[in-house]
């Protein structure tokens, strides 16, 4: 139980305040459609989305004010230029491979921020495989395959381009991120999840399926577990994905399968940890009484583990950066191509 609480706590703190700007761009060669895709996101809020031959994207409502319009102009110019870089990259690379049919070149970049600059990264892939990346620490391009050497040299030989990139990844990205965070404050306001339990008998089985449905929350990161009376995490659980509700909030369901024999003897709890709530939300399922007791457990839960909390606080940064690697690894941003 203690270990469980610790995990939840770390999860809680990490996700509360790391912010990222992500950009993903793709260009295709051949007959495939579309030729260009670009998007720019601050956390999970879409800022700019372009798909070739479509309309030029229009400014998001939350950016439609004088300072925002100025930033939007910069974003548009930058992404416009990036299309040229991407088109060139896919053309040169497919020539290098003697490829003539449909091929795709992708660029991903990102930067992370939490009170101060944390890190930034950028990499390119050709046909879904690592091709080159830009090492922000050493300011050099790194070829992932021998065929990418020519591209590394081409980019490094262009001193102006290299300086533009260095500036983008050291300062530009964080500058945009800070401004976009400020302007999108209203969009990113935390929303508390609603938690309901739905009971259903499984056809062809004596088990009872109890679904913990968690909806209407923002941001996306959430932890939903089924616990037994002793507070142990249960594994007879099928887990859904976090899905967008379409109104900027998210939902997720986790279904516990209760064997017939355990039905009358156990109490089960669905526990939800989300940054909008201090502590966690717990909804209890008591099968023999067939009604649910929602209760919000506040900070008091943690008093018993305050020493651990302190240790964790000290270790927080390293734990957080580790915990954050996974989800961010493939959502990247390419500020300069």
Ligand X SMILES: *[C@@H]1O[C@H](CO)[C@@H](O)[C@H](O)[C@H]1NC(C)=O
Three-class SS state of 121? strand
CB of residue 95 to ligand X, shortest distance in Å: 9
The 8-class DSSP code of residue 247 comes to: S
| Coil, strand or helix at 96 | helix
Least distance to ligand X from the beta carbon of 34, Å? 22
Does 205 bind ligand X (CB under 6 A)? Our answer is: no
Nearer to ligand X, 72 or 250 (CB): 72
Q: How far is the CB of 187 from ligand X (least distance, A)?
A: 14
Residues 6+ apart with CB under 8 A from 133: 121, 122, 123, 124, 141, 142, 144
Q: Is 318 helix (H, G, I), strand (E, B) or coil?
A: helix
| Residue 49 near ligand X by CB under 6 A | no
How many residues would you count in the chain?
337
Residue span binding ligand X (CB under 6 A) among the ranges 55-63, 222-230, 257-265, 282-290: 55-63
Could you say which residues in the range 213-252 bind ligand X, by CB under 6 A?
A: none
The reply on whether position 97 binds ligand X by CB under 6 A is yes
Among 17, 34, 46, 64, binds ligand X (CB under 6 A): 64
* 53 torsion bin: left (phi>0), alpha (psi -120 to 50), beta (else): left
Q: Which of residues 98-137 bind ligand X (CB under 6 A)?
A: 98
Cβ proximity to ligand X: between 51 and 59 the closer is: 59
Applying CB under 6 A, the site for ligand X has a residue count of: 6
- Interface residue with ligand X among 1, 2, 32, 61 (CB under 6 A) is 61
Q: Are 37 and 108 within 8 A, CB to CB?
A: no
**59 contacts ligand X (rule: CB under 6 A):** yes
**Residues 110/20, Cβ–Cβ less than 8 Å:** yes
Q: Which stretch binds ligand X (CB under 6 A): 59-67, 109-117, 201-209, 258-266?
A: 59-67
Tally of CA atoms within 13 A in the half-sphere of 85 that contains its CB: 21
Would you state the structure tokens that stand for residue 233, as one six-digit string?
């995490």
Window of 28-36, 53-61, 270-278, 323-331 that interacts with ligand X by CB under 6 A: 53-61
- Bridge partners (DSSP) of residue 208 are 201, 258
Backbone φ and ψ of 222, nearest 5°:
-155, 155
What count of other Cβ atoms lies within 10 Å of the Cβ of residue 141?
21
Apex CA 149: angle with CA 145 and CA 150, to 5°?
135
Q: Which one, 20 or 184, has the nearer CB to ligand X?
A: 184
Q: Which is nearer to ligand X, 149 or 245 (CB)?
A: 149
Contact between 58 and ligand X by CB under 6 A: the answer reads yes
Q: Using the minimum distance from each CB to ligand X, give the nearer residue, 57 or 172.
A: 57
- Choose one: 40-48, 57-65, 129-137, 282-290; the region binding ligand X (CB under 6 A): 57-65
Instruction: Give whichever of 29 and 332 is closer to ligand X, judged by the CB atom.
Output: 29
Q: How far is the CB of 140 from ligand X (least distance, A)?
A: 24
Whole-angstrom Cα distance, residue 132 to residue 128?
12
Q: Which residues bind ligand X (CB under 6 A)?
A: 58-59, 61, 64, 97-98
């Amino acid at each position: 139980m203690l270990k469980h609480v610790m995990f939840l706590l770390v999860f809680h703190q990490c996700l509360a305040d790391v912010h990222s700007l992500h950009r993903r761009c793709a260009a295709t060669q051949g007959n495939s459609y579309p030729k260009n895709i670009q998007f720019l996101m601050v956390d999970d809020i879409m800022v700019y989305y372009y798909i070739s031959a479509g309309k030029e994207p229009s400014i998001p409502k939350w950016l439609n004010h004088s300072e925002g319009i100025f930033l939007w102009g910069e974003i548009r110019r930058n992404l416009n230029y990036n299309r040229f870089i991407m088109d060139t990259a896919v053309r040169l690379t497919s020539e290098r491979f003697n490829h003539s049919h449909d091929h795709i070149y992708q660029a991903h970049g990102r930067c992370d921020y939490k009170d101060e600059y944390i890190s930034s990264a950028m990499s390119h892939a050709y046909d879904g495989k690592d091709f080159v990346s830009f090492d922000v620490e050493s300011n050099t391009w790194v070829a992932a395959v021998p065929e990418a050497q020519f591209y590394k040299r081409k980019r490094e030989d262009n001193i102006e381009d290299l300086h533009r990139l260095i500036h983008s990844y050291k300062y530009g990205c964080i500058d945009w991120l800070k401004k976009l965070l400020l302007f999108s404050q209203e969009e990113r306001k935390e929303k508390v999840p609603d938690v309901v339990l739905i009971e259903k008998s499984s056809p062809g089985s004596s088990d009872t399926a109890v679904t913990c449905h968690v909806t209407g929350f923002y941001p996306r990161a959430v932890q939903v577990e089924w616990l037994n009376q002793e507070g142990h995490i249960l594994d007879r659980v099928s887990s859904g994905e976090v899905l967008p509700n379409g109104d900027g909030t998210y939902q997720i369901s986790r279904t516990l399968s209760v064997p017939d024999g355990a039905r009358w003897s156990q109490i089960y709890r669905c526990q939800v940890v989300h940054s909008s709530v201090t502590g966690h939300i717990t909804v209890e399922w008591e099968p023999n009484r067939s009604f649910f007791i929602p209760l919000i457990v506040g900070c008091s839960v943690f008093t018993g583990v305050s020493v651990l909390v302190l240790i964790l606080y000290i270790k927080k940064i390293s734990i957080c950066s580790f915990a954050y690697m996974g989800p961010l690894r493939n959502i990247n941003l390419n500020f300069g191509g």
